[in-house]
């Protein structure tokens, strides 16, 4: 049997295969009003198509823990009960069709309050539905972004509580897996990296201080998330800086800390916290980072980064470089990628009743 189509059990949640969908923002929620941040027909159709296409786990896009935590005004959120009810429609469908529903809980930090990418993605001010971003330090992402407000300790603790509250709502909405977004230059990643964290208090400076906020978030989410359900963490394994940034060695060390705090799987990506860096992309270019974490720590890992071919994905799992693969753009292009891969590799996959035809 194909390794890619073997089930995997994390705590008491069994995912039917190793073909997973990573969080990919759709920037399509209503920005204002009573249904702001709630998924609607676009989101339902988007995720339902990948579920009927055989994807084993779908992690819903970065979902903000507060209005000011949105990357854009058009992001999804889990800061109120209206959003919970809207998400239930999606999780019910995914579960009914054999796909495990997960959600990524996020805060945009200094990269929040930007426009939709197809409109240029520029920072938005208050006059254009935007707001003042916050960060560990008053250091902008680049020359085009505003200087963020440095968080006070009280505000840091408030955000920790917002992550926990969003996790409670995610559970009520029917999600089986909660992923904490600690990658791509958003708030948690900003605290981890010395490139963006210039604090001199208990939340900055040393490795222990820079990881403090993140571990407080992990502990808060793990406390409200059921013991029988897994928590994931998405990390940028490197800032791709020559010096002064978060490194692969930091990631390996931190993976051990995350495991000790109850995280079950590390979703390993890279980059996003430093502007103007050169990233050597190519097929599977981020897989070696996942492979190193898997080889040197007790954590399960998932790999990302230009994974497009069935044989390529099969090799990653078979060679024990990762426990699963997360296909982003390829699943946007082909919602039924898992079905095609199963046919190519001889894997078993559930087929919706509506697809069966008697002959």
Residue range 38-55, pLDDT digits in tens: 999 999 999 999 999 999
Active site residues: 186
Residue 351 predicted with pLDDT over 80? no
DSSP secondary structure of 106-161: E--GGG-SB--GGGT--B--GGGT----EESSS--SSTTSPPPEEPPHHHHHHHHH
**How many Cβ atoms from other residues are within 10 Å of residue 211's Cβ?**
21
Q: What is the pLDDT of residue 321?
A: 98
Report which DSSP code applies to 272. Answer: -
CB 246 within 8 A of CB 192: yes
Confidence of residue 359 (pLDDT cuts 50, 70, 90): very low
Q: What is the pLDDT of residue 358?
A: 45
* For helices 212-224 and 153-172, angle between their N-to-C axes, nearest 10 degrees: 30
Residue range 243-297, pLDDT digits in tens: 999 999 999 999 999 999 999 999 999 999 999 999 999 999 999 999 999 999 9
Residue 340 predicted with pLDDT over 50? yes
Is this structure's pTM higher than 0.95? yes
Please give the Cα distance from 277 to 294 (Å, whole number). Answer: 26
DSSP secondary structure of 174-242: T-SEEEEEE-TTSHHHHHH-TTT----STTSSSHHHHTHHHHHHHHHHHHHS-TTS-EEEEEES----S
CB 118 within 8 A of CB 170: no
Strand pairing class (8-10; 13-15): antiparallel
Cα separation of the two ends of the chain: 26
Please give the Cα distance from 190 to 188 (Å, whole number). Answer: 5
- Is 352 in a helix, a strand, or coil? coil
Residue 194 predicted with pLDDT over 90? yes
CB 210 within 8 A of CB 204: yes
Q: What is the pLDDT of residue 353?
A: 78
Of 262, 253, 158, nearest to 208 by C-alpha is 253
- Is 30 in a helix, a strand, or coil? coil
In this prediction, residues 311-336 reach a mean pLDDT of 98
CB 288 within 8 A of CB 254: no
**Residue pointed to by tokens 């249904």:** 35
Residue range 105-155, pLDDT digits in tens: 999 999 999 999 999 999 999 989 999 999 999 999 999 999 999 999 999
Q: What is the pLDDT of residue 237?
A: 98
Q: Which residues make Cβ contacts (< 8 Å) with residue 330, sequence separation at least 6?
A: 307, 308, 337
The secondary element (H helix, E strand) that includes residue 332 is: helix 329-333
Residue 357 predicted with pLDDT over 80? no
In this prediction, residues 72-98 reach a mean pLDDT of 98
């Amino acid at each position: 049997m194909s390794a890619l189509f073997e089930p995997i059990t994390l705590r008491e949640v069994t995912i039917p295969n190793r073909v997973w969908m990573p969080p990919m923002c759709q920037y399509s929620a209503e920005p204002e009003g009573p249904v702001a941040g709630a998924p609607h027909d676009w989101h339902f159709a988007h995720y339902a198509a990948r579920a009927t296409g055989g994807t084993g786990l779908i992690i819903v896009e970065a979902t903000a823990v507060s209005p000011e935590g949105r990357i854009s005004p058009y992001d999804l959120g889990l800061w109120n009960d209206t959003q919970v009810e809207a998400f239930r429609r999606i999780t019910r469908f995914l579960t009914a069709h054999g796909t495990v529903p997960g959600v990524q809980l996020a805060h945009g930090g200094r990269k929040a309050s930007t426009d939709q990418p197809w409109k240029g993605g520029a920072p938005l001010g208050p006059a254009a539905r935007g707001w003042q971003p916050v960060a560990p330090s008053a250091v902008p992402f680049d020359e085009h972004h505003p200087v963020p407000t440095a968080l006070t300790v009280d505000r840091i603790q408030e955000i920790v509580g917002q992550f926990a509250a969003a996790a409670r709502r995610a559970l009520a909405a029917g999600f089986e897996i909660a992923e904490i977004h600690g990658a791509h230059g958003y708030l948690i990643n900003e605290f981890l990296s010395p490139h963006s964290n210039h604090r001199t208090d208990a939340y900055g400076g040393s490795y222990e201080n820079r990881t403090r906020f993140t571990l407080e978030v992990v502990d808060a989410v793990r406390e409200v998330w059921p013991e029988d359900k897994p928590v994931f963490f998405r990390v940028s394994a490197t800032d791709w800086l020559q010096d002064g940034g978060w490194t692969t060695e930091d990631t390996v060390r931190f993976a051990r800390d995350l495991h000790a705090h109850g995280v079950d799987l590390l979703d390993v990506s890279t980059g996003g916290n430093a502007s103007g860096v050169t990233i050597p992309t190519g097929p599977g270019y981020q897989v070696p980072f996942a492979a190193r974490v898997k080889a040197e720590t007790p954590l399960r890992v998932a790999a990302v980064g230009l994974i497009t071919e069935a044989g390529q994905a099969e090799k990653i799992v078979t060679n024990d470089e990762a426990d699963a693969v997360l296909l982003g753009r390829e699943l946007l292009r082909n919602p039924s990628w898992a079905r095609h891969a199963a046919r190519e590799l001889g894997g078993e996959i559930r087929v919706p009743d509506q697809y069966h035809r008697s002959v």
